[in-house]
Structure 1
Amino acid sequence: MTIQDQESPPVTATIVADADRLDFFPTYFGKYFMAGENLLYVHADRLVQDYQGGYWNFYTFSNGGFFAALDTDKEQHVVVADNYCSERMSAEAAGVTLMLFVLGRLLAARIPENESDRFIDLYHKLREFALEHAEAQAILTTID
């Protein structure tokens, strides 16, 4: 068996326990945790039709990544006017999409290179999960 024949295990998501919720944003965004959390809610308000706040679940990945998603079974309508996109997706897929936007926005900010490397790594870990997601096409269309 060659290295090319070996497949990596799928990326799995685990919900963060209530006791660990306060550490979630500081763990992944470091000193930018307030900006990262705020960007999540701003992007949700801007991109998710009929968003009116709500309880968010936090998730960590087996590959070291993370994301957050509204705790709802209701389908989310994500509209990105800049790329003429209108997609309906689960709250989980919308959360993945929003966090990709958040990480992209942080990378566009003028933060020191040694700190932006962490966000680049987290973006790729999240994208790896997104590519394996059942709604990958909707996520990728939305972030295009």
Structure 2
Amino acid sequence: MKVKKIPQRQRMSFLPSLFGGYFLTGESFVFGFMDKYAKDYTGGHYEFMKAENGAMYLKPDNGYYLSLPNYFNEVISADFCGIIATSYALNWLIHKAHIKGNDQLFNLLLDRNQKLNDYIGTFKDKDYDLVKFAIN
């Protein structure tokens, strides 16, 4: 499945499209996730990526060594870092929307998460296993 970088003129609408009303919180979560779990991460520019099926994720400028609480410890590509961080953000925001009783946002975030998981499902076996291990 092909993935495209969002053009500059569409960047302003990307985060609200991905995270709905939690777009600032979602972006901050991704940055914080990378800061906490990516070795030698110092911030930087992110590309906004969109797959043919509508899956969206934030992609940092480099790959990193990720060390997660679920015993995932691997050097991974920038794309995989972004997919994993975005998946964690979506799952946290889904829970937050549910707790607050915001059904519309809850359903939007579930849809975004499902599309991202469907995209992950197209990866080759080794890559699929790597990403699923990181997000499970």
Return the TM-score normalized by structure 1: 0.84
Residues 49 and 78 of structure 1 are in contact (CA less than 8 Å); yes or no, is this contact kept in structure 2? yes
2:28 paired residue among 38, 47, 53: 38
Q: Which amino acid aligns with 1:99?
A: T
Q: What is the CA distance between 1:96 and its match in structure 2?
A: 0.5
Question: Which residue among 83, 88, 94 is the counterpart of 1:101?
Answer: 88
1:80 is matched with 68
Q: Identity rate of aligned residues, in percent?
A: 23
Structure 2 match to 1:3: none
Is this contact kept in 2: 1:40–1:99, CA < 8 A?
yes
Matched, 1:142 2:134: yes
Give, in whole Å, the separation in 2 of the partners of 1:26 and 1:20.
Answer: 11
Q: CA deviation at 1:131?
A: 2.1
Compute the TM-score of the two structures, normalised by the length of structure 2.
0.89
1:20-39 equivalences in 2 (<5 Å): 20-39=10-29
Task: Give 1:71 shift.
Answer: 2.1
Query: In the alignment, which residue of structure 2 is the partner of 1:6?
Result: none
**1:142 maps to amino acid:** A
Kept in 2, the 8 Å contact 1:21–1:58? The answer is: yes
Unaligned stretches of 5+ in structure 2?
none
Query: Which of 53, 59, 71 is equivalent to 1:69?
Result: 59
Distance 2:113 2:37 in 1: 19
The 8 Å contact of residues 58 and 83 in structure 2, kept in 1 or not, is answered as: yes
Q: Deviations over 1:80-111 (max 9, x none)?
A: 12x12212210101110111100001011124
CA distance in 1 between counterparts of 2:121 and 2:37 reads: 21
* Structure 1: segments with no counterpart, 5+ residues: 1-10
Letter in 1 for 2:132: L
SS in 2 for 1:54: coil
